[in-house]
Amino acid sequence: MDLLTEFSTALRTDSDRPEKLALLVGKLTDPGINVDNYIRRLDELADQVEQSMPVGALGRARAEALIAVMHDKFDFFGNVENYYEASNSFLHRVLDTHLGLPITLCLLYTAVGRRIGMNMRGLGLPGHFMLEYGDMNGVWILDTFHGKVVASEELSYYLTQIFQQPIRISVSLEQYRTDTNAWMLRILNNLRSVYISQHRLNDALSVLNYMVVVEPEEASLWRDRGMLHYSLENMLSAENDLRRYFLLRNRLHLFTGETELVFSGVAFEGLMPGAEQKPTQEDQRVLFVLRQIRDEIRRLN
């Protein structure tokens, strides 16, 4: 089974275990890693953490105890000195080095927490990823990167202090909660940004292959993958991805050049109803690249 198929299968069958998906993402950099061994390491870590937690602690005390154990006993910290290293985005590397990003540390805490009966949810807050933990005593927010616990009503002030600029968080945390797919996309997007900044375009393309598996209906991912194929001179693949981009945006007529067939909200020859005839500025940018791609394909053929 190839890596993408293995990841795609797990996305359907293990969505309640995002740590397994994150470990499979690790095969991007270490194809031979044994995911089951790392799952066992998480099981063992959770057992050790549970033995170190104070008996009967609830609410904020339990959240702070978890932070203390993970930080002080097991030395899991935010990688402040090398924040933009790709290794920070791979869960297996975080388990090996005990250093990571907010999002991967939160994933680690969630995996450990679930194993010891602490239900936590990822929060994709402005500029920072944190965890929501709730029990009968209330709701608490864990900053696994900085090793802090705050009450939900303190969150705006807390983030304002971290970033030294006003940040207002909605009283309701629901809009920030992150499901498994969104969690994987954020991790993968971090990786893509690192690889592009390092001009590692083949690695960035491998990441985008995973991203379109997670969210195949997101048009911008097909656009971005098409642009990467173009940069790597994979012209046929670039053209195919840009076709998908226009199709998902209900603008296939721009790809085919059959704009004259679309008018008054009526579409012909398989074009979608509601397609807009006038291209946006972004469409124009993509169409310019598409012309370069087609010129190159004609030249090669």
Give me the pLDDT at residue 15, please.
87
220-251 pLDDT per residue, tens: 999 999 999 999 999 999 999 999 999 999 99
DSSP character for 88? G
The two counts, helices (H) then strands (E), for the chain are 13, 7
Q: 164-168, 208-212, 213-217: which range is least confident on average?
A: 164-168
Residue 156 identity: S
- The secondary element (H helix, E strand) that includes residue 149 is strand 148-151
Q: Enter the tokens of residue 141.
A: 């927010």
59-71 pLDDT per residue, tens: 999 999 999 999 9
User: What does the alpha-carbon distance between residue 225 and residue 212 come to, in Å, rounded to a whole number?
Assistant: 9
Higher pLDDT, 5 or 300: 5
Across the strands, what pairs with 149? 142
Q: Enter the tokens of residue 103.
A: 């999002």
- Rounded to the nearest 5°, which phi and psi values hold at 208? -65, -30
Average pLDDT across the chain, whole number:
91
The answer to whether 103 and 183 are in contact (CB under 8 A) is yes
Burial (CB count <10 Å: 0-12, 13-18, 19+), residue 298: exposed
Boundaries of every domain in the chain = 3-178, 217-300
125's torsion region: left (phi>0), alpha (psi -120 to 50) or beta? beta
pTM above 0.75, yes or no: yes
Q: How confident is the model at residue 257 (pLDDT cuts 50, 70, 90)?
A: confident
Radius of gyration from C-alpha coordinates of the chain:
23
